[in-house]
């Protein structure tokens, strides 16, 4: 996401990818919406060529429908999956972090439209899974009522939500998801550094707090250097 904020060479990032892999970090998060996505794919291509023995799994952001669109389009969903598979040079996506955007100012309408389209979404997800193109389908809900509606659907494998010392509003729905046997992902456990600025705890302690929940599949962090990740391992 933030690769272009640093004046680092492609070789630097290739080595970082390799070092992270050696540390056991083998799921990378990306989005076609990020300005850095094209460069990320270039680095990934060089990484694959330099370290063909090192395999990476991919978690991706996918919005369908997008902003100001009120219908789910299974064809667009499939096209977005195919775009990721092609650009990330992989046969399967470990996890799709899916979003129903539409009109974020009217969450009740978003939820209603989602429930109306749930059969079509379920069919599209099942098709992608049966074809081996995606392994897990997790919802980034934007609000907690939508999250509750999402975890009630069998085709939703769990949630991907913000959780850190400053953002705990998802705790109740995370527990309900866990009770249903869903696996969840935590996003921005350090809140982009704000958790560090507002708290006396160490990075390791802050990440431990964010991950102190049952049935977690992992956390999504932005990493620009090995020494930073070593602070929380």
Where in the chain are the domains?
Answer: 3-230
3-state secondary structure the chain: CCHHHCCCCHHHHHHHHHHHHHCCCCEEEECCCCCCHHHHHHHHHHHHHHCCCCCCEEEEEEECCCECCCCCCHHHHHHHHHHHHHHCCCCCEEEEEEECCECCCCHHHHHHHHHHCHHHHHHHHHHHHHCCCEEEEEECCCCHHHHHHHHCCCCCCEEEEECECCECCCHHHHHHHHHCCCCEEEECCCHHHHHHHCCCCCHHHHHHHHCCCCCEEEEECCCCCHHHHHCCC
Considering only residues 130 and 209, tell me which one the structure prediction assigns the higher pLDDT: 130
| Topology of domain 3-230, CATH | TIM Barrel (3.20.20)
Residues 26-71: pLDDT tens digits? Answer: 999 999 999 999 999 999 999 999 999 999 999 999 999 999 999 9
Q: What is the mean pLDDT of residues 92-111?
A: 98
Residue 118 has pLDDT above 80, yes or no: yes
């Amino acid at each position: 996401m933030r690769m272009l904020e640093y004046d680092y060479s492609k070789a630097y990032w290739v080595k970082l990818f390799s070092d992270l892999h050696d540390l056991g970090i083998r799921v990378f998060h990306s989005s076609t919406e990020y300005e850095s996505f094209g460069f990320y794919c270039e680095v990934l291509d060089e990484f694959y060529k330099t370290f063909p023995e090192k395999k990476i799994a991919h978690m991706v952001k996918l919005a369908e429908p997008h902003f100001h669109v009120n219908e789910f389009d299974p064809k667009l969903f499939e096209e977005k999956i195919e775009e990721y598979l092609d650009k990330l040079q992989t046969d399967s996506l470990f996890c799709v972090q899916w979003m129903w955007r539409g009109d974020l100012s009217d969450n009740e309408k978003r939820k209603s439209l989602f429930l109306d389209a749930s059969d079509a979404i379920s069919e599209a997800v099942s098709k992608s899974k049966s074809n081996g193109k995606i392994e897990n389908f997790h919802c980034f809900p934007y609000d907690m009522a939508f999250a509750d509606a999402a975890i009630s659907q069998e085709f939703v494998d769990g949630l991907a939500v913000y959780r850190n010392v400053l953002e705990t509003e998802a705790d109740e729905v995370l527990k309900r998801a866990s009770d249903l046997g869903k696996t969840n992902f935590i996003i921005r456990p350090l809140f982009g550094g704000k958790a560090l600025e507002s708290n006396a705890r160490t990075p390791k302690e802050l990440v431990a707090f964010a991950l102190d929940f049952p049935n977690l599949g992992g956390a999504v962090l932005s990493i620009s250097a090995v020494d930073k990740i070593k602070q929380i391992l």
